[in-house]
Structures are given as structure tokens and as C-alpha cells.
Amino acid sequence: TYVVTDNCIRCKYTDCVEVCPVDCFYEGENFLVIHPDECIDCGVCEPECPAGAIKPDTEPGLDKWLTVNAEYAVKWPNITIKRDAMAEAKEMDGEEGKFEKYFS
């Protein structure tokens, strides 16, 4: 599966949802997650994210993000259409430790 990681938080560009062939993104207030059982590993979303927040879970060190994606994919509503990015997306792009500070 692919996973959404820290830099999505408070950017939420949503370019990713437009290209996903199986519509497996789920939306929280300031973050999106991928449902790991629905993702077919096609990889097309990864280069679409302006924040570089999407990664394959074959990369090392992503266990935490796999857990977060799996947990919230079953709690949050599905999102299939691109929306406006968050107002603060530009300033927030690249900030460290967003999960600890802002996740919601």
C-alpha cells in the first residue's frame, strides 16, 4: 500500500484523490489517509502530491504512518473529488512534526 505522511497535514492539496483509480482516500479535518486494504499499489498518486507526502510502505520507517492510515481510513468519510487546498498550505509545506502539533 501507499501511505499519506506528515507533510499532508494542514496542506491537504487533494490532487491525490483525483487520480486514484479505486477512490481509497479518506478525509479528516486537516489530513487525508489511504485505506491500506483498498489501495492497489498503482503508485499514480505519489508524484501528484505537491507536498511529497505520499510514500510506498516499502520505504523504511513508515510503520507509524501505516498505523495512522489504517486507523483513520475506517473512521473518516471517503473523498473522491479535489477541493481547495487549506488556506495555510504554502506556509505549512515542509514544517516538521505536524502530526504532534496539529493532527486532527
20 interacts with ligand F3S by CB under 6 A: no
Bridge partners of 32, per DSSP, are 27
43 interacts with ligand SF4 by CB under 6 A: yes
Of 1-40, which residues contact ligand SF4 (CB under 6 A)? 2, 19-20, 22, 24, 34, 39-40
Chain centroid to CA 102: 14
Nearer to ligand SF4, 39 or 62 (CB): 39
Instruction: Please name the residues in contact with 39: beta carbons below 8 A apart, sequence gap of 6 or more.
Output: 1, 2, 22, 24
Cα-flanking dihedrals φ and ψ of residue 58, to 5°?
-75, -15
- Which of the ranges 35-43, 45-53, 59-67, 68-76 carries the binding residues for ligand F3S, by CB under 6 A? 45-53
